[in-house]
Structure 1
Amino acid sequence: MSTPAHDEVRVAVVEDQPLFRSMLERSLGEQPGLRVVTSVATVTEALRTLRPGSADVAVLDIDLPDGNGISLGVTLRRRIPTLGILLLSAHDAMDLLLDLPPDVASGWSYLSKNSSTSEELLVSAVRATAVGKTVLDPVLLDRVTPRAGSDVARLTQRQYEVLRLLASGLSNAGIGERLGITEKSVQNHVNALYATLGIDADPARNPRVSAALRLLEETGPAV
């Protein structure tokens, strides 16, 4: 997956709640560089309207009246390999990203409807997901802690902070601004955490996505 060849990010919305769907249409449609190209309520409608070349990212509710957003996302990604998938749910179902089939596992993001209601976060997640990045709900990430004995547990406190912000979709510059450190320092921390986690820095495999998924895999609810 790569940056769309055109100037705008084309967004498809699949959400069965009319009020929330209208909110998504308005919030995304008013953003410069974003255009909502289709907005439907069901799996059936999504499969009928979404074709190769029609959208760059699909915002999918997980719970739909005639199916679920995860299965829909898998089908759409196999039909449109460049399509980014942003899942929305009223439940904490972020771990479902770990069960995706390997052939479509990159370029998926997850936000909770309950915790991540910020328009800024939604828009940034859509933009990031459209170019193949993975964005995990930052509020839900704040509620987890590394599992004992895991590689993530071996990270320093600063490296763990950087990993969590990276998984929230922030760039190195954005992480540096949030933590009050230089972008160069952020890159050093990123390189160190990649080494600790054994992540190959081959850009073809998108190491930031791999790191985000490792964070999801090796953490659990804080006790």
Structure 2
Amino acid sequence: MVTHTDSPRTLRVAVVEDQPLFRKMLSVLLDATDGLVVAGEYASAAEASQGLDARAVDVALLDLRLGDGDGLALGRDLRRRNPSLGVLVLSASDSMHVLLEIPRHEAGGWGYLSKTSSLSAPALVFAIRSVAEGRAVLDPAIRAQREVRRQSPLAQLSARQREVLALVADGLTNSAIAAQLGISPRSVDGHLNAAYAGLGLQASPDRNPRVEAVRAYLAHTVPGPS
């Protein structure tokens, strides 16, 4: 008999969404996905704040605009209760800038997806798994429309460095970036290190340069023309 010991753990996801039909659709989708299980459904910020045990779940899936509060504030409160909790925020508009309100030391494990542009099942599942692993995820469709601010540090990077950084902002690993661009993982690592240097990100045990680079990307880009 063969025993498999390397199966990924099942992720427990809490869904906080004030629209009943959309909340149920999310829960049904997640429960039907291998490796995911819905550990609770909540219709409001107050209900989640009072009834959600942050230490009993791996990811909180939050609507940004709840009827009685702000999903970002709720996410930060839940993270205070469980610092390893992944938080994925959903919004009906381009509000990625709200993630800049998250302190740098808390930015890992936060993600943002648009309900209108990127909320496909694969994108949602990928983002949930990414934030559970502590990676920062930005909506790829909205991210692709963002333009680099003039005279920003990003403008000093090469086109390839910005391309690699944009894929990091999508939550991709170095191996996934290498496969998508047709280059080696070592080349990806080299481009990232050059981008970190160009952005003035110093190696430090207190800072994650990958997360810092994503924050820099968000801070120095603006929505492109629609």
* CA apart distance, 1:205: 2.5
Task: Give the counterpart of 1:206 among 194, 198, 208.
Answer: 208
Specify the SS of the correspondent of 2:55.
coil
The TM-score with structure 1 as length reference comes to 0.92
Report how many aligned residue pairs link the two structures.
218
**Is contact 1:57-1:129 (8 Å) kept?**
yes
- Using the size of structure 2 for normalisation, the TM-score is 0.90
Letter of the 2:86 partner, please give it.
G
> Which of 132, 146, 152 is the aligned partner of 2:148?
146
Distance 1:212 1:137 in 2: 12
For the residue of structure 1 that corresponds to 2:24, the secondary structure is helix
What secondary structure sits across from 1:134 in the alignment?
coil
Aligned-residue Cα RMSD (Å) equals 1.7
In the TM superposition, 1:13-52 aligns within 5 A as 13-52=15-54
What per-residue deviation string (whole Å, max 9, x for no partner) do you get for residues 131-156 of structure 1?
22110001011111111111111111
Gaps spanning 5+ residues in structure 1: where?
A: 1-5
Tell whether the 8 Å contact from 1:162 to 1:190 is kept in structure 2 after alignment: yes
Distance 2:44 2:34 in 1: 27
Match 1:170 to one of 150, 172, 176: 172
Q: Which moved more, 1:160-169 or 1:19-28?
A: 19-28
The one-letter code sitting in structure 2 at the alignment partner of 1:211 is A
Quote the residue 1:129 is aligned against.
131
Matched, 1:159 2:161: yes
Could you list the runs of 4 or more consecutive aligned residues of structure 1 that deviate by over 2 angstroms after TM superposition? 100-107, 200-206
Q: Does 1:58 align with 2:60?
A: yes
Give the alignment of 1:53-132 within 5 angstroms.
53-101=55-103, 104-132=106-134
In structure 2, C-alpha distance between the alignment counterparts of 1:182 and 1:159, rounded to whole Å? 14
